Amino acid sequence: MPWSILELMRNEPEVLKEHIKKRQLEPSIVDSAVALDSRWRAILTKINELRHHHNVVSSEITRARGEERRKLIEEARSLKNSLEEAERELRAIEEERMKAIRGLPNVVEDGVPVGGEEASVPIRFWGKPKVYKDYVVSFEEQTEKYGFIPNYEIIDFKPVGHADMLENVLKLADTLKAGEVSSSRFYYLFDDIVWLDFSLLLFAIDRLTSKGYSLVLPPYMLRYGVINSVIDLETFKDAIYKIEGEDLYMIATAEHPIAALYYNEEIYDDELPKKYVGFSPAFRKEAGAGNRDLKGIFRVHQFHKVEQFVFSLPEESKKYHEEIIGNAEEIFRELGLPYRIVNIASGDLGACATKKYDLEVWMPSQGKFREMVSASNCTDWQAYRLNIRLIRRKGMVRDYVHTLNSTGIASTRVITAIIENYQLPDGSVVVPKVLRRYLEPFERAPKEVIKPRMVRP
RNA sequence: GCCGGCGUAGCCUAGCCUGGUAAGGCGGUGGCCUCGAGAGCCACUGGGCUUUGCCCACGCAGGUUCGAAUCCUGCCGCCGGCGCCA
């Protein structure tokens, strides 16, 4: 079976346009892709005919002698000229066609709310958020408006924001010095916060490997052709760092190298699903972020991440999409961080995703739910570009696998959530119980509480 | 980084010197046979197109030639040796 988007583009372009409109993109990109594709196919047919003729003449040369041979060679030469001209014509259009086709986003799954960012809808809530008394109205707007009445606790003290906590209360981060020696959105973290970072990663790795996901430490850099197959142009522009003078790009998440694990390979249906949990640092330019979240460590150029990744049968990808968001929810429930799950609106989906769930944790000092996890079903969009085929043994039918990815833990973001949710009025931060067993082996690691310091270490 | 060897279909392998249009095996799929299984036999088993057919594909990209897996150039990767290195 060919790639689903190409099939749709050729057979039902109007349907594909509806999907593009839902994403608030220009539907005419389909028309230009279709036009380039038909033109390309017409030239290709012409070339095939010329090549055939040329092949026939060439094979006659083998047997011919004398004058006849001389004439045949002359004919082959002239065919070669017409062929080269047609090939130039094809090359002229080929790259443009490929760009147009690769520029097409995935379709939008049924049930995804249609509209821009504001159209995204929370679909479930968990936990008992701590709501500072002045934020109660705003909290209700973020819950009751969608028909949910979660249980919450009103608190009298306003927790200090994570950036001030880290820099001025706990004194366990230095973003000013990092800004000076690297640039903004970098950080130094110290002692208890570093232990916290590692324990979060180990906790997520422990949970996910227990569920049968294979642990993988992937390459942190990829070639252009590979990384460009995993992500869309927007992500590339806004997120990806390049190594000067080499064909290497730094990954923005382990999703990229794990997706590439089967680059140009075939997977038999009885080997699926393949489930992985990857660990890697994540490097992001955050070029499109402007001044947003400039303070602290919520939005940074570099952090640690545990990632879930699944290669699945096409008919099972929806099931695994629910599974990976479910795994992430389990992790956040065990951490005791109140969250909501949001079904992301069509206009806010990445080009790869047909549907996306975000997990957003309640941040008491900001009075908002903030994104901690993003779980996407990419169906065959990445697999087509990476050329990862699925072979169904019954009848040896060739198809494309489906790929899915979800955050497990993104260290710095979860640290901000812990600092805001586990903060006591005296400025100390309680260590979530579930992390303690990962801190226990280390003499100097915090076990129960992280206390404010007088001076930065 | 330097020197040498290698790269052929899902896998293994022949062809390369001496240019004439990819041979064989394994695995897989379907069928015949069988009460059933096995064995045996037959067909199929990379991509594309306007699909009884045709075109393309021998790591990738160029070049020479009527014709390139084969000859030439550059690049990538793997293996071995030397050098460097946490």
CA A13 distance to own-chain centroid: 27
| Host H or E run for residue A292 | none
Q: pLDDT class for A61, splitting at 50, 70, 90?
A: confident
Q: What are phi and psi of A179, to 5 degrees?
A: -60, -40
Q: How many CB atoms lie within 10 A of CB A140?
A: 14
Find which nucleotide's C1' atom is closest to A75's CA. Answer: B66
CA of A395 to C1' of B37 (A): 21
Res A1: pLDDT: 64
Measured from the CB, is A78 under 7 Å from any atom of strand B? Answer: no
Residue A322, SS3? helix
What is the pLDDT, as a whole number, of residue A82? 83
Residue-level length of chain A? 457
Lowest mean pLDDT, pick from A159-163, A230-234, A402-406, A432-436: A230-234
Taken in order A31, A34, A38, A40, the sign of the CA dihedral is: positive
For the record, the structure tokens of A58 come out as 């060439």
**A348-359 pLDDT, tens per residue?**
998 999 999 999
pLDDT of residue A160 exceeding 90: yes
Q: Residue A228 in contact with residue A248, Cβ under 8 Å?
A: no
Q: Starting at the earlier edge strand, list the strands of the sheet with A389-392.
A: A266-268, A389-392, A397-400
Instruction: Kindly report, residue by residue over A292-305, the tens digit of the pLDDT.
Output: 888 999 999 999 99
**Closest to A152 in 3D by CA, of A325, A339, A357:** A339
The pLDDT of A322-342, averaged and rounded, is: 97
Question: How many Å apart are A263 CA and B77 C1'?
Answer: 14
Q: What is the DSSP letter of A169?
A: I
Helix axes A191-210, A411-421, angle to 10 degrees: 110
Q: Which two tokens stand for residue A352?
A: 């790869």
Asked if residue A28 keeps its beta carbon closer than 7 A to nucleic acid strand B, the reply is no
Which positions 368-407 on chain A have a beta carbon less than 7 angstroms from any atom of strand B? 389, 393-396, 398
Average pLDDT over residues A67-95: 83
Average pLDDT value over all residues in chain A: 91
The separation, in Å, between residue A350 CA and nucleotide B84 C1' comes to 44
Which amino acid type is present at position A432?
P
| Three-class SS state of A371 | strand
Closest listed residue to residue A299, CA positions, set A308, A310, A288: A288
**What region, left, alpha or beta, does residue A392 occupy, with left being phi > 0 and alpha being psi -120 to 50 degrees?**
beta
In the structure, how far is the CA atom of residue A267 from the C1' atom of nucleotide B11, in angstroms?
Answer: 14
Query: Rounded mean pLDDT of A444-453?
Result: 95
Reported in sequence order, the residue ranges of A324-365 that DSSP labels E, i.e. its strands, are: 339-343, 355-363
* Strand B contacted by A58 CB (< 7 A): yes
What integer pLDDT is reported at residue A396 of this predicted model? Answer: 78
Residue type, A220: Y
pLDDT of A105-130, one tens digit each?
A: 999 999 999 999 889 999 999 999 99
* CA separation, residue A400 to residues A16, A383, A387 (Å): 19, 6, 8
Distance of alpha carbon A356 from alpha carbon A366, whole angstroms: 24
What is the percentage of chain A residues whose pLDDT exceeds 90? 61
Lowest mean pLDDT among A32-46, A55-69, A436-450: A55-69
pLDDT of residue A235: 80
**A4-102: CATH, from 1.10.287.40, 1.10.3720.10, 1.10.540.10, 1.10.10.10:** 1.10.287.40
Q: Does domain A117-450 have CATH number 3.30.930.10?
A: yes
Model ipTM over 0.90: no
CA A43, C1' B68: Å apart? 25
**Between A398 and A16, whose confidence is greater?**
A16
Q: Measured in angstroms, what separates residue A10's CA from nucleotide B50's C1'? A: 14
Bases on strand B under 7 Å from any protein CB: 10, 20-21, 28-30, 44-50, 53-56, 66-67
Task: List the domain boundaries for chain A.
Answer: 4-102, 117-450
**Could you tell me the two tokens for A335?**
């951490």
* Per-residue pLDDT at A370 exceeds 90: yes
